[in-house]
Each structure stands twice: as structure tokens, then as C-alpha cells.
Amino acid sequence: MSHDNVNNYYLRSPKCIFGAKLDSQLITQEEAQELCAKKYLRPHITNENELAAPLTEEELVRVQDKFPELATQSMPPRALSPIL
């Protein structure tokens, strides 16, 4: 699947993509929306732990027009800086 096809896939309704997890209450609608936004931005990531990382401010700005109902906070830029 090409990068564009992956992106378009995650623009669909979270209910279509994560229906089973939503129906069994493993995740909330908000979490499903956030997962779609993250996969839209990071289609190459398959590790769930990496995908769980909060969106950066830059990523959040990039997805707000595609996911206007996204209710998440971005990670502060300093949180990405290594501790010396």
C-alpha cells in the first residue's frame, strides 16, 4: 500500500477502522481518533509503544485540519530533549 493510500485509509471514520475495539470498550472514541491521526502522520510505525507517544506540537498542527475533533494535547518541545 502506498503512503498516500495509507493516509487516506486513516481519514476514514475511526468506527470503521477500530470498530471491534470500540464495541468491546477497549478504547474510547477519542482514543480511536487520536490513533487515526497518529497513523495518518506516522504510517510507517507498527510498534504500538512508539505509536503511543504523544503528538508533537508540529504534528498536532499538521493534523488539525484533517481531524478537527481531535481532543489531545501536544507534547511540549522540551520533553523531546535528552537530559544531559
Q: How many CB atoms lie within 10 A of CB 26?
A: 11
Check residues 34 and 80 and name the one with the higher pLDDT.
34
pLDDT digits (tens, 9 = 90+) for 35-78: 889 888 888 888 878 888 888 888 888 888 888 888 776 666 55
Beta-bridge mates of residue 75? 56
- pLDDT attached to residue 76: 61
The total domain count for the chain is 1
- pLDDT attached to residue 26: 92
Amino acid at 52: A
Q: What's the first-to-final CA gap in the chain, in angstroms?
A: 41
Domain that holds residue 52: 3-80
E-strand stretches of the chain: none
pLDDT digits (tens, 9 = 90+) for 16-38: 888 999 999 999 988 888 888 98
